[in-house]
Amino acid sequence: MTDMFNPDEYYEKGDNDFGKPRYSLLENGVYLMIITQAEMKTTNAGDGTYLKMTFQVCDGTSKTCTFQNFHISNPSSKCVAYGHKKLAGLTKALGLAKIDLKNPKVFEGHKVLCEVYIKKGEGEYNGKPNKDTNEISAYQNKDAKHSEASVTANEAPGKSGNFEDVDNIPF
């Protein structure tokens, strides 16, 4: 045993680069996911609130996560309507009745089937190009057969289920 550690023996260029993705995107498809975290947050501007959730894949060897924000209050009424529509789709799929948003932890531990797609990154934020992300377009009760109709979370105008982001909502 040696007391000296030489990082050059183990380190490869690129192993610790800033900006390098630390996760992989899920392919378009339906995944059984568990909600591992749910918390109310305030928007950066301080003029709204949203429910931030982490969904983790349960099936197979992948433990990839995707993150969803459900806007609860915001100066934009379109933003709020879209957030409420998405949250309604999730709560219906989970079989939950009225939810007290002061206690978002009630969502944690629930499993749900999620229809996931890759949303192409467009534009930039703080001078850096936006990256592709995973989005959840619909939720379905985990005990339902895949052939049953899912509870859509994307019934905003322009959403057709073909994984194209054409709803003109700026987020």
Low-confidence spans in the chain with pLDDT less than 70: 1-4, 6-23, 61, 145-171
Number of domains in the chain: 1
This prediction has a pTM of 0.71
pLDDT of residue 99: 86
- Is there a domain that residue 146 lies in? yes
77, part of any domain:
yes
Longest CA pairwise span in the chain (Å)? 65
Contact 150, 126 (CB under 8 A): no
Q: Which domain holds residue 136?
A: 32-121+128-152
Q: Which of 120, 117, 152 is nearest to 135 (CA)?
A: 117
Domain assignment present for residue 2? The answer is no
DSSP 144: S
Task: Report if residue 39 sits inside a domain.
Answer: yes
